[in-house]
């Protein structure tokens, strides 16, 4: 069987999503057997765009002109383009201060250096190109990455999750940090699939996987308000990973 040709690129992000894939040590041999990672600058060299790809996996958001070009190039060359991680899907941490004024942020961080002159407010992939599927998370779960790659072998895209973190948290029979500990747990608004990783360790959900479909922000804000959290605090917390959240 012909190996699937894969491109993996990182835009504005921490490279953690790509690293999650490289951390699948047990599966790396079979991955190399089934896939040809033709463009994967973080892991292989030379990193030259020189072909067409069955799928491009892109981590990170777009904040610089050369990233726009790379993304558009990958889109043109790939049958599927898959957003890898919350930054690619929603903007993520890099987009945290979008709306504060680009000039102000630039001066605060870089002073008068011209180094950041070309940067712009970070945007998610789908604001520029068609995205065929999203594997969200900060970083995505290894299992999700492997399932997505295995699916590609059969020409299938990953099935979207429709339930929030709470669902898996309840399946694990955890103490509910929101109702029982009055913690600002973002589980009800956040896409599941992580197995309620943080609440299972008594850490409130930080919302790193972005919004769940049909998130009921209005009612959630009521519930948080009863626990003593005002709207601004909740929205501020939600926007750490997804600037789309608005009052």
Partner 1 sequence: MATQFIANHNLAPLLVRLRQSAELHGPVRGDDGVVRFAAIAPGTLPDLSAVRTLLPPKKYLLHPQETILKYTVRAGYQMPVEDVHQIILFGLHPCDLAGINYLDRIFLDDEPDPLYVARRSVLALVGVSCSPDEFCSCHQLTSPLKALFDLFFNVVEGGFVVTSGSARGDELLEKVKDLLEERVVAVPEDARRFFGHAAAEATRPEPDATLPEWRELASRCLGCGACSICCPTCYCFDVLEFCGLDNCSASRVRQWDNCLFKGHAEVAGGMTFRKDKAERFRYRYRHKYRGFGLSQGIPSCVGCGRCRAVCPAGLDLRPLAERLEGGQRE
Query: Which structure tokens are listed for 63?
Result: 């904040």
User: Could you give the string, one character per residue 151-170, with x where binding to partner 1 holds by CB under 8 A and - elsewhere?
Assistant: x-xx-x--xx-xxx-xxx-x
142 binds partner 1 (CB under 8 A): no
Q: How far is the CB of 169 from partner 1 (least distance, A)?
A: 9
Give the number of residues in contact with partner 1, rule: CB under 8 A: 45
Q: Based on the number of CB atoms within 10 Å of its own CB, is 42 exposed (0-12), middle (13-18) or buried (19 or more)?
A: middle
Q: How far is the CB of 222 from partner 1 (least distance, A)?
A: 8
41 binds partner 1 (CB under 8 A): no
With vertex at residue 135, the alpha carbon angle to CA 88 and CA 158, rounded to the nearest 5 degrees, is 140
Q: How far is the CB of 237 from partner 1 (least distance, A)?
A: 16
179 binds partner 1 (CB under 8 A): yes
Query: Which structure tokens are listed for 238?
Result: 């939600």
Q: How far is CA 183 from CA 206, 216, 227, 234, in A?
A: 11, 18, 8, 11
Q: Based on the number of CB atoms within 10 Å of its own CB, is 22 exposed (0-12), middle (13-18) or buried (19 or more)?
A: middle
Q: How far is the CB of 200 from partner 1 (least distance, A)?
A: 11
201 binds partner 1 (CB under 8 A): no
223 binds partner 1 (CB under 8 A): yes
d(CA 213, CA 134): 13
Q: What's the start-to-end Cα distance of the chain, in Å?
A: 51
Query: Which structure tokens are listed for 122?
Result: 């970070």
Nearer to partner 1, 31 or 47 (CB): 31
76 binds partner 1 (CB under 8 A): no
Q: How far is the CB of 147 from partner 1 (least distance, A)?
A: 5
**Residue ranges that bind partner 1, judged by CB under 8 A:** 1, 27, 30-31, 34, 146-147, 149-151, 153-154, 156, 159-160, 162-164, 166-168, 170-176, 178-180, 187-189, 202, 212-216, 218-220, 222-223
């Amino acid at each position: 069987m012909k190996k699937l040709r894969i491109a993996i690129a990182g835009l504005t992000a921490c490279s953690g999503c790509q690293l999650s894939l490289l951390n699948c040590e047990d599966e790396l041999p079979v991955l190399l057997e089934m896939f040809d990672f033709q463009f994967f600058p973080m892991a292989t060299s030379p990193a030259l765009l020189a072909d067409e790809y069955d799928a491009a996996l892109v981590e990170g958001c777009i904040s610089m002109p050369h990233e726009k070009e790379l993304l558009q190039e990958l889109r043109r060359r790939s049958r599927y383009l898959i957003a890898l991680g919350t930054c690619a899907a929603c903007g993520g941490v890099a987009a945290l201060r979008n709306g504060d004024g680009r000039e102000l942020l630039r001066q605060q961080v870089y002073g008068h250096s011209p180094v950041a002159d070309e940067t712009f407010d970070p945007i998610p992939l789908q604001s520029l190109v068609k995205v065929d599927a999203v594997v969200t998370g900060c970083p995505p779960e290894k299992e999700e990455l492997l399932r997505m790659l295995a699916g590609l072998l059969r020409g299938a895209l990953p099935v979207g999750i429709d339930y929030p973190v709470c669902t898996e948290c309840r399946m694990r029979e955890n103490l509910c940090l929101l109702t029982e500990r009055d913690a600002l747990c973002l589980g009800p608004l956040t896409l599941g699939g992580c197995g309620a990783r943080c609440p299972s360790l008594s850490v409130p959900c930080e919302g790193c996987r972005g919004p769940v479909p049909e998130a009921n922000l209005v009612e959630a804000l009521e519930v948080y308000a009863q626990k003593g959290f005002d709207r601004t605090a909740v929205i501020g917390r939600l926007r750490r990973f997804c600037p789309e959240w608005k009052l």
